[in-house]
Amino acid sequence: MISIINIGMNHQSAPVELRECLSGDKVGPAEILELMRKSEFISECIFISTCNRVETICTATDPDQAEKVIIDLMAQAGTMPVERLRSHMYLHKDMDAVRHIFRVAASLDSMVVGEPQILGQVKEAFRLAAVKERSTGVILNRLMHKTFQVAKRVRTETGISETAVSISYAAVELAKKIFYGLEGRVALLIGAGEMAELAAKHLVCNGITELNIVNRSFERAVELAGSIGGKAALFDEMEEQLVKADIVISSTAATNYIITADMIKNILRKRKNRTLFLIDIAVPRDIEPKVNSLENCFLYDIDDLKEVVNENSTQRMQEALRAERIIEEEVIKFGNWLSTLDVVPTIVLLKEKVEEIRRAELRRSMSQLQGLTGEQIEAIETLTLSMAEKMVNDPILALKNISSRASKDSFIDITKRLFNLDKEKT
């Protein structure tokens, strides 16, 4: 029997320093998929890696062995002990795994409930697995298409996305709390991607006095600065910009620290020890954690934003409750479809045997019936087809409608015995 299993870790189960070891910038999803495909215990697989989660969903004939293979692969890829990784991971099987991936795509399992980015990230993970790596099949293809439909239902039938608070918004809210407002303050954005753009807009809306943007692509920095009334600077000017900034928000795609403790030590001297607040919303992190130990320097990472995100969440939780109901409906529907897969081989055998009998008897009878017109022969063909279909219709419906595993196995066995299907197959 095929099982669906989900193994992973997210912002609730693992700290950022552990998640970043397996982030997409450090561990290639394609390499992980290739290694999983080579396992005899894994039939289909998808690997999802975002700033707040790393997980795989797969089908397996032996879920216990598949679990061991996946955790060993992740530990090896992240260069960490298996036991350390295992203690921070979750495991979902069968309908629990289906429910989990529905909740992930619908943004109910996100740090920011209702945020839209996760659906695109799940779609990209599926595209890599299904199109490029060809690591999916009948079950996961069906599951992922249903996942996208569920996410669409949740966004259409609830107001969950309208009440979402983005990570960028949370970062700016944290900055406001630190300074009791942003008027008269100088902010530095490092990076010019989607999260940086959202942070820039929130900073401007909240009255930041000066906003400077540093990015490896100066052209992109100029483009973003022009759209929000900020100023662009070259990446090589970052230290100069850090000297005059009050607030730094960093969100690049760098794989190593772009701001180190030694760099900040030099900057603090030039600032005459004026307080510096840094907010790192990148995964992997942009800023070396040791920075937080320096005097007059305060560093917050993406996990520190949880408290801000959780504030005023009543409305989001009400919409999330409605979304959970939709997900439960869809889990039941998918479970019903999945349960029919067990009986499909028996149904195919039954249909094939009845069709063989029909054709054999029709050939035998037609040799004794001479002088029939084409229309009469067609009518006899239609009559025998109809009779054959009606004969097997009730057994097929009965097979599809049995819900319990034990009853289904028993009914499949009885059907094979009654119609002598095992003998026919051999």
Gap between the Cα atoms of 47 and 132, Å rounded: 13
CB 357 within 8 A of CB 346: no
Residue 259 pairs in a beta bridge with 287
From the candidates 21, 45, 51, 297, give the one annotated as an active-site residue. Answer: 51
The helices-and-strands tally (H runs, E runs) of the chain is 18, 10
Tokens describing residue 41:
């215990």
Burial of 332 (0-12, 13-18, 19+ CB in 10 A): exposed
Per the annotation, the verdict on 297 as an active-site residue is no
Helix (H, G, I), strand (E, B) or coil at 300: strand
Cα–Cα distance measured from residue 68 to residue 77, given in angstroms and rounded to the nearest whole number: 14
Q: From 215, 253, 259, select the one nearest 20 (Cα to Cα).
A: 253
Residue 259 DSSP code: B
**8 Å CB contact between 163 and 315:** yes
β-pair partners for 211: 187
Q: Which residues are catalytic?
A: 51
